[in-house]
Amino acid sequence: MWPGLVALLALFLVACDKEPPEREIIVGPWKDTIASYHTIISFRANGSFGTLRLAEGQHSKIDDTAERVKVDGKWQLLPPEVDGDPLLLVMTPEVVEGDTPWEVDAPVTYLIEQLNPNRMMLRSPAGERLSWDRLRSTRAPEEEGGLPLIHVATGPMVVGLAKERLNEENRYLCVQMEFILSDVEGTSYIEDVRLDSGEPSGSYRIHPSVREALVLHMSRLTHRDVRSLKRFQAVLTDFKRILTPYLGDRLKDVKVVKVVVTSTRDGVDTFVAEFAPEPVEPEDAKS
């Protein structure tokens, strides 16, 4: 009896651990168009998904004034219990923005009626059929390949500028930037804040080693290097070069939110206070 039970348990664990092969087909961006509304959904390999609904205005251009609907969450593919039954796609929203029937933490299960590299047909619990086409070239504002670009703030970074003369006054370079990324999957240099703070999906921070590399480079700069916006553009080019080994081609741009050169500690404190994250109130205090 025991050997048979052990064998059965081993088979169960192998079956649970094995991902359905259709999962690889689902991963990626898809698009659905109804009338003048375009809904773009991206299924990521890490089990998260993101949707964005855009409204089309005149001349087939995206209407930036129309309300956008955004849903982010988790997805999983469940194999059929009986051979021949359809696969089940379960989507659980974690962030919901705009006018949409989706609700946070309310999973929705779809039957997958058709799935190939170019098209996916789903049936909702209410019986509605949804048709999704693989997205390959459509591009909308703040997107690449139909996917919303990810903005990751660096947090305030402050260094003392190097002196060219012994009698030169102390100056501090204060910089707040955003990394604009096509994806954060597959890199350990962008950390998910949710893992230790419970913040919603889409909250990220840069790894300390990335900050250290930037700060080390900034500490070698002099006032001459950053005293004008034109000169700072050259510094920004160096930042992108430094970041390439960490983020590769997923880094699309580095946006400077604010840069300040100050000679006082009060100036530094004011800058840091402006961009410092909001303190998280302990649960005990809330109660």
What is the domain partition of the chain in residue ranges?
21-143, 150-280
Which pairs from 39-46 meet CB under 8 Å and 24+ separation?
39/69, 40/135, 40/138, 40/140, 40/143, 40/146, 40/147, 41/132, 42/146, 42/147, 43/75, 44/183, 44/185, 45/185, 46/185
pLDDT higher than 50, residue 191: yes
Which of 62-76, 189-203, 208-222, 266-280 is predicted with the least confidence, judged by mean pLDDT? 189-203
Q: What pLDDT, on the 0 to 100 scale, is given for residue 35? A: 52
What percent of the chain shows pLDDT beyond 90? 18
Q: Which CATH code fits 21-143? A: 2.40.128.280
- The band of 278, judged by pLDDT with boundaries at 50, 70 and 90, is low
Tokens of 216: 């080390």
Q: What pLDDT, on the 0 to 100 scale, is given for residue 256? A: 83
pLDDT higher than 70, residue 95: yes
Q: What integer is the mean pLDDT of 248-277?
A: 86
pLDDT higher than 90, residue 132: no
Cα angle 75, 63, 34; round to 5? 55
Residue 216: CA atoms inside 13 Å, Cβ hemisphere, count?
A: 8
| pLDDT tens digits along 55-80 | 554 333 333 444 567 888 999 988 77
Which of 24-33, 153-162, 235-244 is predicted with the least confidence, judged by mean pLDDT? 24-33
Q: Which of 183, 203, 252 is nearest to 43 (CA)?
A: 183
Q: What integer is the mean pLDDT of 109-129?
A: 87
Q: What pLDDT, on the 0 to 100 scale, is given for residue 68? A: 63
Q: Which of 238, 237, 234, 220 is nearest to 161 (CA)?
A: 220
Q: What pLDDT, on the 0 to 100 scale, is given for residue 12? A: 40
d(CA 82, CA 17): 18
